[in-house]
Amino acid sequence: MTSIDPSWTVSSRQALLFMQLADSLEISRQTLIADCDLDPLWLENPDFRMPVAAIYKLARRLAELSHNEDIGLLVGRVSYLNLVSLILYLPRICDNLRQWLNMMPSVMEMQGDIGESIVIREGESIRTQWNPLLNNDESGRYFADMILSSSVSLLQSVCIHPVTIEKAYFAYPEPENIELHKKIFGEQLFFEQDFSGLFFNIEALDYPLVKPLDSDSLNLHENILATVDKDSGDGFLRQMRRSIVKALPSGAMSIDSVAEELSISRRTLQRRLAERNTHFLNEVQDLRSAIATRLLKDQQMGITEIAFLLGYADSSSFSTAFKSWHGCSPKDYVQQLEEAP
């Protein structure tokens, strides 16, 4: 573990989650802003990157003012519902929990520079493990609680069959009152562990995902497929492009992973692209550019979520790439759309 790096940032969306909880607990936002030295401008744009130190201070102060150390568990539930656009979209590019879990670490990394989530097989169980950048003494238990609580909500909502949490680990001492822990995670709770994480049976990996039927989700998916398939009467290119789009959110998409998905060698993939006067990086960039503009026009997702779907580590990297394609930032692009007659 280390101390806070001044360069670490987190999406102000996280601060807004805590503010929403503060409203429900009747804690004044203005008091929190003043006590935590928050710039109100940070909260006007959910995709703004604010200092990590500020979000830790906000969490601690909210816990103090509410006299409630369980705020992380509650914010996790708020966070879950604010991921609804991704919850509705990901089952359209995943078939089962195994594929969905491959993207889960990237979803968690959307939170900012606070840690990473990993998925590990342990015997006949799968565990999701939260690895924070700071230990609990420095950051408090709030973010570990938030990640685990949000993860439970996600796991229990995306599959047709319920995913039962076998046990939950927490890297902090047992609180005096663990009733909320029991309601969220069940009875098998273990404290003062080496890590915070959740365990569930390996058979759940093959559980099919629930496919949303709402018109907005269907339209979004169809719009993306139309973008991918545009001007492509070539079956090979269409299949490859769909494989790329499916793999992008994992953050680990490569020419080798796409070739494996297509059951061909890397060399064969390169040769077939050369025969069509294109190459892999061009295809990836063109897809990212086209999908980005499509999603921004639909205005169903924030910039951070779009960055995730396109495989970028953060919204800043996505904004830089978008500006190189279109000469303006994603935010300016949306503003131009809104101002157009």
Q: Is residue 330 part of a domain?
A: yes
Is residue 4 domain-resident? no
Per-residue pLDDT at 207: 94
Q: Is position 77 within any domain?
A: no
pTM (two decimals): 0.78
Strands 165-169 and 189-190: parallel
Q: What is the pLDDT of residue 231?
A: 59
Do 195 and 256 lie in a common domain? Answer: no
DSSP 313: S
- Same domain? 29 vs 126: no
Are both 88 and 60 inside the same structural domain?
no
Query: Which letter does DSSP use for residue 3 in this model?
Result: P
Answer yes or no: do 132 and 157 share one domain: yes
- In contact, 76 and 18? CB cutoff 8 Å: no
- In which domain, by residue range, is 65 found? 9-69
Query: In the prediction, which pLDDT does 336 show?
Result: 87
Domain identity same for 199 and 222: no
Please give the chain's pLDDT, 341 residues, in tens.
468 888 888 889 899 999 999 999 999 999 999 999 999 999 998 888 899 999 999 999 999 999 999 999 999 999 988 877 777 777 777 788 888 887 655 555 666 788 888 888 888 999 999 988 887 777 789 999 999 999 999 888 889 998 999 999 999 999 999 999 999 999 999 999 999 999 999 999 999 998 877 655 556 656 666 667 665 678 888 889 888 888 888 777 899 999 998 999 999 999 999 999 999 999 999 999 988 998 888 777 778 788 888 888 777 888 999 999 999 999 889 888 887 76
Q: Check whether residue 237 and residue 124 sit in a common domain.
A: no
Q: Tell me if 38 is assigned to some domain.
A: yes
Residue 181 lies in a domain: yes
Q: Can you read off the two tokens belonging to residue 74? A: 């509650």
Q: Can you list the pairs that 98-104 forms with residues at least 24 positions away whose Cβ atoms lie under 8 Å?
A: 98/205, 98/206, 100/158, 100/209, 101/126, 101/128, 101/205, 102/250, 102/252, 103/249, 103/250, 104/128, 104/151, 104/154
In a domain, 142, yes or no: yes
In a domain, 169, yes or no: yes
Residue 241 and residue 143 in one domain = no
Same domain for 310 and 237: yes
Whether residue 263 is found in the same domain as residue 175: no
Is residue 2 in some structural domain?
Answer: no
Structure confidence at residue 214 (pLDDT): 60
**pLDDT reported for residue 180:** 97
Exposed (0-12), middle (13-18) or buried (19+): which is 223, by Cβ within 10 Å?
Answer: middle
What is the per-residue pLDDT for 92?
A: 73
Mark whether 110 and 198 lie in a shared domain: yes
Assess whether 165 and 225 both reside in one domain.
no
Q: CA-to-CA distance for 156 and 16, rounded, in angstroms?
A: 24
Our count of domains for the chain comes to 3
Listed in sequence order, the DSSP H helices in the chain are 12-24, 29-35, 52-66, 71-81, 84-89, 97-109, 136-139, 142-158, 179-185, 215-229, 235-247, 255-261, 266-275, 280-298, 303-309, 315-326, 330-339
